[in-house]
Structure 1
Amino acid sequence: MYIGKVVGNVVCTQKDEGLNGLKLMVVQPLKDDLTPKGKLQIAIDTLGQAGKDDIVYLAKSGESSLPLKKQKELVPSDAGIMGIIDYYHIQDQGGNKDE
């Protein structure tokens, strides 16, 4: 899994049948310090609730469509939004505790 920021959405009039009724979002993958990492990606919003500027966590490849249970076969996707992050904190890498 990895984190990203929703920066937009995608509207398609023609798409694979397995994607009908699903929200497609444009996501910028992020590093641990929440700075951009790599290229923009298109992700299925498996929750149906992600919106612009949300920080989300995603799964890659086949795992990205597992929550959909839309059909017996997997939905074609490279990335799927699994959750919306409300709070994000990383402890000091040196193991130092705040005093």
Structure 2
Amino acid sequence: MYMAKVVGSVVSTQKDPSLVGRKLMIVQPVNSDGQSVRHQEVAADSVGAGVGEYVLLVRGAGARRASQLDDGIRDVNDCAIVGIIDRFDK
């Protein structure tokens, strides 16, 4: 799992069927001090996160499992928001 801050959203009217109805958010990975690390990326939101919130991300197979559909449609998702961080305790 990774930590990130939601910094924006992406609007895409033409996309793979497995992404229809999902919010696509721009996330900036961060460390436990809230400082940016690496580059921004797009994540499918499964928890209703908003811009400015710190979130938990999963990538790869974890992201596909987090947003798996029951209707047999393959899931192309490679990065998913699976939690909203309330605080960092160190």
**TM-score > 0.5 by shorter chain:** yes
How many corresponding residue pairs?
89
Indicate yes or no: 2:19 matched with 1:19: yes
Instruction: State which structure, 1 or 2, has the greater radius of gyration over its C-alpha atoms.
Output: 1
C-alpha spacing 1:76/1:18, structure 2 compared with 1 (3 Å): same
Identical-residue share of aligned pairs (%):
37
Residues 32-51 of structure 1 correspond to what in structure 2 (within 5 A)?
Answer: 32-47=32-47, 49-51=48-50
**CA distance in structure 2 between the partners assigned to 1:34 and 1:74 by the alignment:** 34
What is the root-mean-square deviation of aligned Cα atoms in Å? 1.3
TM-score (norm 2): 0.90
Letter in 2 for 1:18: S
- Secondary structure of 2:61 counterpart: helix
Aligned counterparts of 2:74 and 2:82: Cα–Cα separation in 1 = 15
Of structures 1 and 2, the one scoring higher in RCO (CA 8 A, sep 6+) is: 2
1:74 shift after superposition: 4.5
**CA distance, structure 2, for counterparts of residue 45 and residue 89 of structure 1:** 24
TM-score w.r.t. length of structure 1: 0.83
Distance 2:73 2:18 in 1: 9
- Deviation (angstroms), 1:65: 2.7
Structure 1 residues without counterparts, runs of 5 or longer: 91-99
1:18 aligns to what SS in structure 2? helix
